[in-house]
Structure 1
Amino acid sequence: MTYTELFIFTLEIIGTIAFASSGAMLGIRKNMDIFGVNVLGITTAVGGGCIRDLLLGIHPPKMFQNFAYVGTAILTSCLLFALFYLKKELLESSFLEHYERVMSTLDAVGLGIFTVMGIRTALYLESSHINNLFLLVFVGVVTGIGGGMMRDIMSGNTPFVFIKHVYACAALIGAFLYIFLCRVIPDTAAMLISSLAVVAIRMLAAHYRWNLPRIQ
């Protein structure tokens, strides 16, 4: 495994842990059993990537080619379930005050990493569509938000992306930024800068309550 491959794999595992944690925490908050917590954790972690692979014609999707991603999501979900099962006091009001902040942070990290990874997968795919800007942006955003949308629908919530703090817009900005940067600077630097930009936008939006216009 080359340095670049190791760097990319490390980013993907960090994103998987972040998204699996947000899914598992929502399952715990919804009083699901350990199976439900794992389903939400796995779906959040690899759901967006699975949609991306189906759109790009990658068969079977990467989640089935390499068990490391699903295995990491299962391990993360089980560890969180065990923690809250043994420490139920963490679910009291004092913890719940910080619940949304934790969820936002985990979502921001996963969103930044997977948006960039989605575009990179399309760029390095042997396809005649690799220079299609709309395709690149679309698969990047879908990879970033797809798992979270599936998580929210399965748990009976309005998808986070539709109501909270310029969520999809952060992914869009990161997608365009990565597409531009990867052509002018080394790929690893472009990935890191673009991912951090998405995380920064999401955290600032959550802190300052930036939202898109809506009808009250």
Structure 2
Amino acid sequence: MEDILFFLEIMGTVAFAISGAVLGIRKRMDIFGVSILGLTTGVGGGIIRDLIVGNNPPLTFQDPVYLVVSIITSIIVFLPVIRTWIFRETRFYEALMLLFDSIGLGIFTVNGIQTAYQSTNIHGIILLAFVGVITGCGGGVLRDMMAGDRPYIFVKHFYASASLLGALACILLWNRIGYGGAMLLGATSIVVLRLLAARNHWSLPKADLPEE
């Protein structure tokens, strides 16, 4: 079980790092900027999570495997042959990234809940849900802010909402079916919701402002 979770976490980290690196390339950043944006997206949510629950220094720096994976992924994306393929095969890239990103969102959300359970004596639903969502979405928010964009999760698609619903499912099932089953069902629900949202173009309502 732990080996499977680790593999899925690596997949999610790679997907997050690619999204950050591609945005850096689109913003005409150099290789350092692309690497930092990929790194921030890959591990940013986990760092915020650890600061909230009191893991100091953050686990990313205690076991830097995800940090290294994020940087290597970003450098690979920056290579001319890879970035040319990404921007040429747009549809295939977007489909692949949707799958990997959805898996990463699901895994990191429930991983954040597990970390909060293990690191604090406060198991209130608000704290656990917040830590779960921030672990899944925090890196993307930091990425967009560093790139000068409005955070993606606030303006497009059913993203943070899927993370929140999956987090709540995981929390409510935690003591009923055990942490393994709760994490599996929580992560699966997030992946399914993300894929359904992308297929059916689900978005939250937006306010209509009068024309000036």
Normalising by the residue count of structure 1, what TM-score does the alignment of the two structures yield?
0.87
Distance in 2, Cα, partners of 1:12 & 1:105: 13
How far is 1:196 from its partner?
1.9
Report the secondary structure of 1:183's partner residue. Answer: helix
Q: Which residue of 2 aligns with 1:90?
A: 85
Identify the residue that residue 52 of structure 2 maps to in structure 1.
Answer: 55
Q: What is the CA-CA distance between 1:86 and the residue it aligns to?
A: 2.3
Check 1:99–1:214 CA distance in 2 against 1; reply closer, same or farther (3 A cut): farther
Structure 2: 5+ residue stretches without partners: none
Aligned residues: 208
Asked if the contact 1:21–1:106 (Cα under 8 Å) also holds between the matched residues in 2, the reply is: no
Query: Distance in 2 between the 1:155 and 1:138 partners?
Result: 24
Q: How far off its partner does 1:22 sit?
A: 1.4
- 1:159 maps to which residue? 151
Q: Which moved more, 1:6-15 or 1:191-200?
A: 6-15
The change in CA–CA distance for 1:36 and 1:145 in structure 2 (over 3 A counts) is same
Identity among equivalent pairs (%):
48
Aligned to 1:38: 35
Question: Considering only aligned residues, what root-mean-square deviation do their CA atoms show, in Å?
Answer: 2.0
Query: TM-score, normalization: structure 2?
Result: 0.89
Counterpart secondary structure, 1:109: helix
Q: Cα offset for 1:114?
A: 0.8
Alpha-carbon spacing, 1:17–1:89, altered in 2? closer, same or farther (3 Å):
closer
- The answer to whether the aligner puts 1:182 opposite 2:177 as a matched pair is no
Contact 2:38–2:70 (8 Å) recurs in 1 = yes
SS at match of 1:201: helix
Equivalent position of 2:111 in the other structure: 117
- Asked whether the 8 Å contact 1:12–1:117 carries over to 2, the reply is no
Measured after TM superposition, the shift of residue 69 of structure 1 is: 1.0
Q: What's the CA shift for 1:106?
A: 3.7
> Which residue in 2 is equivalent to 1:21?
18
Distance 1:113 1:24 in 2: 21
Q: Compared with structure 1, are the counterparts of its residues 16 and 91 closer, same or farther at alpha carbon in structure 2 (3 Å cutoff)?
A: closer
